[in-house]
Structure 1
Amino acid sequence: MKTQSLGSIRKSFAPWADPSEKPLIRFENVTKTFDGFTAVDDLSLDIYTREFFALLGASGCGKSTLLRMLAGFERPTKGRIVLDGEDLTGIPPYRRPVNMMFQSYALFPHMSVAKNIAFGLKQDGMAKSEREDRIAEVLKLVKMERFANRKPDQLSGGQQQRVALARSLAKRPKVLLLDEPLGALDKKLREETQFELTDLQYDLGMTFIMVTHDQEEAMTMADRIAVMDQGHIRQIGTPPEIYEAPSSRFVADFVGSVNIFEGKVAKKTGERVTLETPSGGVIEADNGGAAEAGSTAWYAVRPEKLIISAEPLDGPNVFSGEVWEIAYIGDMTLFHLKLDDGSILRVSMVNRARSSPLQLTWHERAWASFAPDAGLVLVR
């Protein structure tokens, strides 16, 4: 029985912060080109034992190419990949201590669940009795024991996903690679499976590397996230670091919803910054970072950090506009305010009561405000 919750364990798990810790996987100045197109550009990255690592980015950013190079399906044009101290150059996929679970699951339709799982073990020459024990073990792990004799077309999408996972785990790889593993599942099942996968990864003590374009999926499951764009890593960090302390406007805009104000730094005292926006609004921010007086900077603030009011407000960090859109989505209500300069300000409000005391409707005037420490000043 666990004496500590998985949440507290993951919170304290940070081998990347220990200078004496050696990474399990190291990408060293890796470049991959296809007919003149650079999919991965001089990329270096360390991933540690027992880490659940997510490569997050839009289609074409290079994340799947990176995963396929680690699996051995593609060769780096330049650079090298090292796994547990061994240079993987020239080692074929079937001899690498990694296994990949594909987005399509790639199950053999003419084979039963048990035979799908047994296929790789049989190819490796594992004895029949040992194969049967291993099949039983992984089926129990993914809670699919009673489906051993069914064929893939007799299973739901979620069940097929579990079979693909069991097959990937059967050979006990050092690293499990997950390529958009939950993309084919409906929203509710996807949310349930996210927690099941993180629990399973901890119980097995394995290193998982996941490719996804789903920010919520990465934030829920990963210990660390690498945000990728055009073959580069724009930021690596824990989910709170990526969300609350993005290093650039690109990361702030890509991960979650955000309001970004451009302005001129009118004054900086210590970390306190006064930012004047083109619309005439003034932002007082506590975390000026690298911004310098007289320079252009941007202020990023998440919609949930703002407070919306039907009553007039004044002072810094207050913006007024017309209620342009309202979306009630159950647990929260989203407001879009159209400011006088035509820009849209997003505000989200948690619905703590069954009926909202805030009586706002379309085309009414509203005021949005935020605290000086609600957002982040960015210089790029």
Structure 2
Amino acid sequence: MKTKSLGSVRKSFSPWTDPDAKPFIRFENVTKTFDGTAAIDDLSADVYEREFFALLGASGSGKSTLLRLLAGFETPTRGRIVLDGEDMTGIPPHKRPVNMMFQSYALFPHMNVEQNIAFGLKQDGMAKSERNDRIAEVLKLVKLENYGRRKPHQLSGGQQQRVALARSLVKRPKVLLLDEPLGALDKKLREETQFELTDLQYELGITFIMVTHDQEEAMTMADRIAVMGDGRILQIGTPPEIYEAPTSRFVADFIGTVNIFDGTVTARNGDRLKLETGAGHLLEVDANEESVSRARSGEKAAYAVRPEKLRISAKELTGPNVLSGEVWEIAYIGDMTSFHLKMDDGKIVRVSMVNASRESPVQLTWHDRAWVSFDPDAGLLLAN
């Protein structure tokens, strides 16, 4: 049982901010083509020792190919991968200090739990007594001490996932690669396992690299996230950086839910911009330093603001950063309520309201007229 929270420890872990820190894994201008098409396109990135690093992207973004390149199952067309100072070029998978846990778990159905875990050690010629000690150690680690004699079909999905994890860890790799590790679990078990896996990763001190298409999973588990698209890394950052400070329209739109207002800069006063949208709405917004330097009067701009940063009211509001529309959809999710408002120009604006009390303070229903507002610093002027 966990006796203390690791939140403060993980919060202080940020070797990527240290200019003197040496990357543990380095992808250097890596390209991988299949039939002339680039699955990975001139990609460079650094991962640090003991980091929980997530590759997040839609199907076909290149994340699984990058994982397979690191594991040695694929060979780069160009570029190289360096792990702990050693160039991985030409080193076969079984000689790399990495292990991979697959989404399917790939357990041998005719073997019991102990035999599944011992398989790799037996292939390496490890003595039986040492194998038994290792097996007992990892079974305790994943809380399956009493399940060693069971076959995979006698286990739940969560227990099978733990066996696959134990088998991946028993050889004590320097890096553990996880390909959609929680995809086969139900929602509640997946949420519980996310925290267990991050705590386990810290306790073991092993570098984890995880591939996932699940944004919530990446945000919950990873120290940093690499958002991928078309074989490239579009942004690397901590979960708050990725969510609150996306560097492109694609990342803003891909991560979570966002409202993007396209407009024209009509005035600028210091770090405050006035934008007029195509529907005639006037926005007064704060902008980041980089985008302010580019935003000139008459130029096009896009402003992104998350649904939870908006306020909704059944009473008429006036002034800048106020929008009005018809309540088009309502989703009561328990901890929050999501409203979709249809503006007069047809644009859908999404608003999320936390249900802090049992009775909603905003009495709105379908087809009601509603007003939303937000502060000038609620969102971000997008770079593109």
**Partner of residue 226, structure 1:** 226
Matched, 1:98 2:98: yes
> CA–CA distance in 1 between the matches of 2:189 and 2:4?
26
Three-state SS of the structure 2 residue aligned to 1:192 is helix
**Partner of residue 141, structure 2:** 141
Matched, 1:261 2:261: yes
**Partner of residue 353, structure 1:** 357
Three-state SS of the structure 2 residue aligned to 1:188 is helix
- For the Cα contact (< 8 Å) 1:273–1:288, is it kept in 2? no
C-alpha displacement of 1:379: 2.8
Amino acid at match of 1:191: E
TM-score (norm 1): 0.98
Matched, 1:340 2:340: no
Per-residue CA deviation, residues 12-48 of structure 1 (Å, 9 max, x unaligned), is 1110111111000000000000111210000000000
Amino acid at match of 1:368: V
**Partner of residue 366, structure 2:** 362
> CA–CA distance in 2 between the matches of 1:221 and 1:363?
39
Amino acid at match of 1:350: V
- For the Cα contact (< 8 Å) 1:114–1:148, is it kept in 2? yes
Per-residue CA deviation, residues 263-296 of structure 1 (Å, 9 max, x unaligned), is 1111222221111111111111112442411211
> CA–CA distance in 2 between the matches of 1:74 and 1:152?
29
> CA–CA distance in 2 between the matches of 1:2 and 1:348?
33
Matched, 1:66 2:66: yes
- For the Cα contact (< 8 Å) 1:324–1:363, is it kept in 2? yes
C-alpha displacement of 1:64: 0.2
> CA–CA distance in 2 between the matches of 1:30 and 1:379?
26
Aligned pairs (5 A) from 1:38-117: 38-117=38-117
Matched, 1:373 2:377: yes
- For the Cα contact (< 8 Å) 1:296–1:379, is it kept in 2? no
Three-state SS of the structure 1 residue aligned to 2:265 is strand
Q: 1:307 aligns with which of 308, 311, 314?
A: 311
Matched, 1:297 2:336: no
> CA–CA distance in 1 between the matches of 2:170 and 2:4?
28
**Partner of residue 30, structure 1:** 30
**Partner of residue 12, structure 2:** 12
C-alpha displacement of 1:370: 0.5
> CA–CA distance in 2 between the matches of 1:300 and 1:239?
17
> CA–CA distance in 2 between the matches of 1:126 and 1:242?
44
Percentage of pairs with the same residue: 78
Per-residue CA deviation, residues 122-167 of structure 1 (Å, 9 max, x unaligned), is 1111100000000000000000111100000111110000000000
Amino acid at match of 1:277: T
Please list every run of 5 or more consecutive structure 1 residues that lacks an aligned counterpart in the other structure. none
- For the Cα contact (< 8 Å) 1:101–1:168, is it kept in 2? yes
Runs of 4+ with deviation above 3 angstroms = 1-5
> CA–CA distance in 1 between the matches of 2:252 and 2:89?
36
Per-residue CA deviation, residues 190-233 of structure 1 (Å, 9 max, x unaligned), is 00000000000000011000000000000000000000000011
**Partner of residue 252, structure 2:** 252
> CA–CA distance in 1 between the matches of 2:247 and 2:311?
25
Amino acid at match of 1:163: V
Aligned residues: 380
Three-state SS of the structure 2 residue aligned to 1:276 is strand
> CA–CA distance in 2 between the matches of 1:241 and 1:323?
31
> CA–CA distance in 2 between the matches of 1:194 and 1:5?
14
Please list every run of 5 or more consecutive structure 2 residues that lacks an aligned counterpart in the other structure. none
Amino acid at match of 1:299: Y
Three-state SS of the structure 1 residue aligned to 2:337 is strand
Taking only aligned residues, the RMSD between alpha carbons, in angstroms, comes to 1.2
Matched, 1:161 2:161: yes
> CA–CA distance in 2 between the matches of 1:5 and 1:153?
34
**Partner of residue 334, structure 2:** 330
Amino acid at match of 2:238: T
Amino acid at match of 1:250: F
C-alpha displacement of 1:353: 1.1
Q: 1:321 aligns with which of 322, 325, 329?
A: 325
> CA–CA distance in 2 between the matches of 1:206 and 1:42?
27
**Partner of residue 279, structure 1:** 279
Three-state SS of the structure 2 residue aligned to 1:145 is coil
**Partner of residue 127, structure 1:** 127
C-alpha displacement of 1:3: 9.8
